């Protein structure tokens, strides 16, 4: 079962995982901050491990679920889609000793920045992307996720 929620006309949140603990209202705020002035639409889908593994295998040739995947759209009005694996996010938050909300904020912002053209392939790009993530997260009082 998928639950679709859309309070911001630009952002749709789909919950395709049971017992999802994403704070949906906050997700819109985090997404809007990362979108900045970009008016294109975006879908954030919270998935289980099976769907995450399937997507990761199909698009990245990796045989395990992952925390976040970003898919750019070819449509002019749509930025793209982000798939966040809820169970992986929960495990990572616990392992990294951070709140799940803070980790979800980071994953949403990270995914949107990829859709906006940021990447972390080389050190220069990594520094630029992580700097932007830190700047946005700091605005919410969220600690540096890389420390």
Helices and strands (H, E) in the chain, number of each type: 5, 5
**Rounded to an integer, what distance in angstroms lies between the CA atom of residue 93 and that of residue 77?**
33
At 10, the pLDDT band (50, 70, 90 cuts) reads confident
pLDDT at 132: 98
Domains of the chain: residue spans and CATH: 3-138 (3.40.390.30)
Instruction: Indicate the pTM of the whole model.
Output: 0.92
Residue 84 has pLDDT above 60, yes or no: yes
Give how far Cα 91 sits from Cα of 67, 86, 137, Å: 10, 9, 20
* β pairing state of 41-47 and 78-85: parallel
């Amino acid at each position: 079962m998928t639950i679709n929620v859309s309070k911001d006309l630009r952002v749709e949140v789909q919950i395709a995982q049971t017992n999802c603990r994403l704070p949906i209202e906050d997700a819109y705020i985090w997404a809007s901050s990362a979108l900045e002035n970009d008016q294109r639409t975006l879908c954030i889908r919270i998935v289980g491990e099976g769907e995450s593994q399937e997507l990761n295998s199909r698009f990245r040739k990796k045989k395990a679920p992952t925390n976040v995947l970003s898919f750019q759209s070819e449509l002019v009005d749509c930025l793209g889609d982000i798939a966040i694996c809820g169970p992986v996010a929960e495990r990572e938050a616990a392992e990294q000793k951070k709140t799940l909300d803070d980790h979800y904020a980071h994953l949403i912002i990270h995914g949107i920045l990829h859709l906006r053209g940021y990447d972390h392939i080389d050190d220069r790009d990594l520094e630029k992307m992580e700097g932007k993530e830190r700047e946005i997260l700091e605005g919410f009082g969220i600690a540096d996720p890389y420390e």
